Amino acid sequence: MKHRYFAIGCAFAGALAAELAIAQTSTTESEYSPPQTPWGHPDLQGVWDYRTITPLQRAEQFGDREFYTDEEIAVLEGRANNRMDTPPDENTPANLVHAQYMTDPGTTIDESRRTSLIIDPPNGRMPASVAGSQGRRGGGGGARGQGAGNPDQPWLDRSIMERCITYGMPAAILPGLYNNNIEIVQGPDHVAIVHEMIHDTRIVPLDGRPLSGVRSLLGESRGHWEENTLVIETTNFSDPRLLRGGSENLRITERYTLIAPDRIDFRMTFEDPTTWVQPWTVAYLMRPTEGIIYEYACHEGNYGLRNILENLVAEQGADTGDRGE
C-alpha cells in the first residue's frame, strides 16, 4: 500500500512540475518583448541548437500521457549520456554510419518535458494515412530512401541524402543523429535559414510576392510576421515523398517565436489531405549555441559512396572468382 501511495505521489509531483514549467514558459512568452532589428522585426538572428532525445512520436506505453516524470527523465538522460560515453560493445549496437565521437544527438529531453515532439494530434503520434497513400512511402530522398539498404543498386539510385544532395524538408530541421543547428540571418524583405545538415540554405521572401510554382527538393517558401512570430509556409516540393509519403499537395508551416533571450519556441505543422486524415504539428525549443556553423563538407561521390561501390565490385569479383590480381 505504501508503495502505491509513493508511486501516486511521484506521478503527481512529475505532472505538477510539468504544469509549472509550461505555465512559466507561457508567462515568459506573454511578457517577453524581443529585441528588434533596425527595420522593426523581432531579432531572431544567430545560431540555434535543437538537439533533443525526445522522440518524434510518443511511445505507445505512455498512452495519452503528455509529460514525462522526473524519474523517467533521469533514466532516459542517463541512458543517453552512457551511450555517448561508452564505446560500443556486444550490448551497445555500433552506429554503422559514423563513429560515436562524430555524432551529437543530444542527451536531454526537450524542456517542455513532453513525451513526444508531436503535440497534435493529442496522442502524440502521426495521424492515420489516407487510403491509397501508403504506396508513396520510401521515396527517393529520405534517410532510408530509394536504393538505401540495397548495396546492389547503381549509384544513381542511391538516396539523395546518401549522395549528399539534400536531406530535404523537414528532415533538415528535425532533431537527429548530428548537425542539429540552424543559423537565421534577417533582412527587411528576406530571411535566410542555413541548415547545418548538408549545408542547405533557404531564402524566404517576406515581401508578399506570389508563388512562382517552381518546384524544388526544399520546396518554395514565403514568410510573414504575426506579431512576434515569424511564419514560413512552404509548398511546391519536387519530391514530397521525402516526408513519409507526402504528395504534391504537402504544405509545411513553420512558426518561430522568441520567448526569452535564449529560447525560440519552434512549431511546424504538416498538411496534406491526400496523405493524412488530419494535419499534425511538431514543437520543441531551440537554444543559442556559441560559434558559427562550419561547412558540412559532404559532397556527392564522397567516401561513403566510394566505399559502397568498391565493396560492391569486390563482392562481384569474389562471386566470379576474380580477385583483381
Per-domain residue ranges of the chain: 2-304
Amino acid identity, position 162 = E
Instruction: Let me know if 138 is exposed, middle or buried by CB neighbors in 10 A (0-12, 13-18, 19+).
Output: middle
d(CA 219, CA 86): 40
d(CA 274, CA 38): 43
pLDDT tens for 242-256 read 666 678 889 999 999
Q: Would you say the C-alpha torsion 233, 238, 243, 246 has a positive or negative sign?
A: positive
- Mean pLDDT, rounded, of the chain: 80
Is the pLDDT at 207 greater than 90, yes or no? yes
Phi, psi of 75 (to 5 degrees): -65, -50
Instruction: Please tell me whether residue 186 adopts helix, strand or coil conformation.
Output: strand
pLDDT value of position 16: 44
13 against 214, higher pLDDT:
214
Confidence of residue 281 (pLDDT cuts 50, 70, 90): very high
Phi, psi of 265 (to 5 degrees): -85, 115
How many CB atoms neighbour CB 242 within 10 A? 29
320 against 261, higher pLDDT:
261
* Best CA proximity match to 174, nearest among 65, 282, 312, 32: 282
Instruction: Let me know if 93 is exposed, middle or buried by CB neighbors in 10 A (0-12, 13-18, 19+).
Output: exposed
Residues 193/211, Cβ–Cβ less than 8 Å: no
- Sequence-separated (6 or more) residues with CB below 8 Å from residue 117: 52, 54, 55, 56, 57, 110, 174, 175, 282, 283, 284
Weakest-pLDDT range from 21-35, 98-112, 287-301:
21-35
Angle at 301 between CA 299 and CA 305, to 5 degrees: 115
* Best CA proximity match to 234, nearest among 248, 214, 254, 258: 254
The per-residue b/e assignment along 175-207, b for 16 or more CB within 10 angstroms, e otherwise, is bbebbbbbbbebeeeebebbbbbbbbebebbbe
pLDDT value of position 105: 86
Weakest-pLDDT range from 36-50, 86-100, 200-214, 219-233:
86-100
How many CB atoms neighbour CB 91 within 10 A? 6
- Helices 2-31 and 70-85, packing angle to 10 deg: 80
Most confident of 79-83, 195-199, 253-257, 286-290: 253-257
Task: Please state, for a pLDDT cut of 70, what percent of the chain lies above it.
Answer: 71
Residues 237/246, Cβ–Cβ less than 8 Å: yes
* Best CA proximity match to 172, nearest among 142, 149, 211, 206: 142
DSSP state of 223: E
- Please measure the distance between the N-terminal and C-terminal CA atoms of the chain and give it in whole angstroms: 75
pTM recorded for the entire structure:
0.80
pLDDT tens for 116-150 read 999 999 999 999 988 866 655 544 444 334 444 45
Is the pLDDT at 29 greater than 80, yes or no? no
